[in-house]
Amino acid sequence: MSAPAAVSLKRDLGLWSAVAIVVGTVIGSGIFIVPNVMIRNVGTPAMVFVVWVTGGLMSLSGALSYAELSAAMPGAGGEFVYLREAYGPLWSFIYGWTQMWVAKSGSIATLATAFFLYVANFHPELKHSAGQIPIPLGPSGGPLEINFGQLFGMALILALGGLNYFGVKIGGRVQVLVTVCKVGLIFAVIALGLGTGHGDAGNFQSILPAAAGGMAAFFTALVAALWAYDGWNNVSMVASEIRDPQRNLPRALIGGTLAVIALYLLANAAYFYVMPAREVAASDLVAADMMRKIFGQPGANMVSVAAMISIFAALNGSILTGSRVPYAMALDGLFFKSVANVHPVFRTPGVSILALSAWSAVLVLSGRYDQLFTYVIFASWILYGMTTAAVLVLRRKRPEMPRPYRTFGYPVVPIVFVMSALCLVISTLFNSPRESLLGVALVLIGLPFYYYWVRWRT
């Protein structure tokens, strides 16, 4: 095993920074767009709320389970640590490899793509072609077309990577500031939707006759909801930099997830109060169209600004947290040795931050928004389910382990989450087999590297 880094990470993040990581990373672009997908599948506002509550309870059951793991093992890398203790280094490596090359980097690329699409509302020239790359990855095997928005998204990722390089305290303060701004703007949208008299309570009874309906459609809607909830677990990745982690990590995980559920339900109440089911189904940008209906184009512009701030916070939080996973891998001797280096002045895993940011920027060029989203969901939820099952495994394998927090509702809560994750993975594989299998292929590519690093380590 490689020698520990000469300089260690520093516990500079307090409770509010941890809560801001949960709320700020979860609330990205999903809340502004996914009600459209949900109503087209389930058909009524009432069922949309059922889907939001189901997804919220699934996420909360995951947060309750992770709270036990993070309080017991507050080390850098989050799931990497829990999977190693429960199943051994192979599974922790697969998790770390997936995060680095598919899940976290894909999520960062997805957020950057969404950000430039919102900016393009004000600057349409971002959608213009900037040139071609002569590799057969474009439509029908043609050259890969690059637009100016993708270059903008890449620059944004690298700039935030540079910001987090200069200290976790700086990244944490930025996260708190933009999360407060984003929550304030979302509350403003909710208040204006519910309180300006432009709505009709009868809209909650509206029906979309052309909706898909059935159990398969419910799971499709649930995938969209879970994407909007994705990110509640990220704070565990920076556990080694949170003050008093035994208390603050469970509080941040549970309190942050509950806050997000409440915000999502209130936002959807505003959408359906102002717009009937058929209008929500016809809208690709539900929040913007709701505000346009009340205030015209200035209202839609306000939502675009809110969405950009929201995505910016999620992007910063993803880089801040995700970069600790390759660092943890390298510290265990399962990744490039230099990635375990901690900057002697800034006390950050600088090489890891730069490596994750650079690869995420490359992925911005790799495909459409929906493809990146599917890579992230499929690969992530396999490992989320395994990590939550680690609560059950470690209760038997390591009964002597100190557990400052124990999962509420054990063992039912972890089991419910694991079964839900299994259903989601099967549904995603059935609906998006190509993207799902590509995600699996990227994971399997890592196995030869694992055996190389294990041999080198010993």
pLDDT of residue 30: 84
pLDDT of residue 8: 83
Domain that holds residue 358: 15-457
Distances (CA, A) of 357 to 149, 314, 419: 17, 14, 33
| Domains held by the chain: number | 1
- CA-based diameter of the chain, in Å? 69
pLDDT of residue 137: 61
Position 36 in a domain: yes
pLDDT of residue 1: 43
Taking the CA atoms of the chain, what radius of gyration do you get in angstroms? 21
pLDDT of residue 6: 60
Position 4 in a domain: no
Give the domain CATH number at 279: 1.20.1740.10
Alpha helices in 296-432 (DSSP H): 297-322, 324-331, 350-363, 369-397, 412-431
Position 301 in a domain: yes
Position 393 in a domain: yes
By the 10 Å C-beta count (0-12 exposed, 13-18 middle, 19+ buried), 345 is classed as exposed
pLDDT of residue 28: 86
Tokens of 71: 């309080």
pLDDT of residue 140: 59
3 state DSSP class of 175: helix
Position 9 in a domain: no
| Local confidence pLDDT in tens for the 458 residues of the chain | 444 446 789 999 999 999 999 999 999 888 888 899 999 999 999 999 999 999 999 999 999 999 999 999 999 999 999 999 999 999 999 999 988 988 888 889 888 988 988 888 888 888 887 777 777 666 556 677 788 999 999 999 999 999 999 999 999 999 999 999 999 999 999 999 999 888 899 999 999 987 887 888 898 898 889 888 988 999 999 999 999 999 999 999 999 999 999 999 999 999 999 999 999 999 888 999 999 999 999 999 999 899 999 999 999 999 999 999 999 999 999 999 999 999 999 999 999 999 999 999 998 887 655 565 666 677 778 888 999 999 999 999 999 999 999 999 999 999 999 998 888 888 878 877 887 887 788 778 899 999 999 998 77
Between vectors from CA 59 to CA 102 and to CA 33, what angle results, nearest 5°? Answer: 70
Position 5 in a domain: no
Position 2 in a domain: no
Position 1 in a domain: no
b/e sequence 3-35, b meaning 16+ C-beta within 10 Å = eeeeeebbbbbbbbbbbbbbbbbbbbbbbbbbb
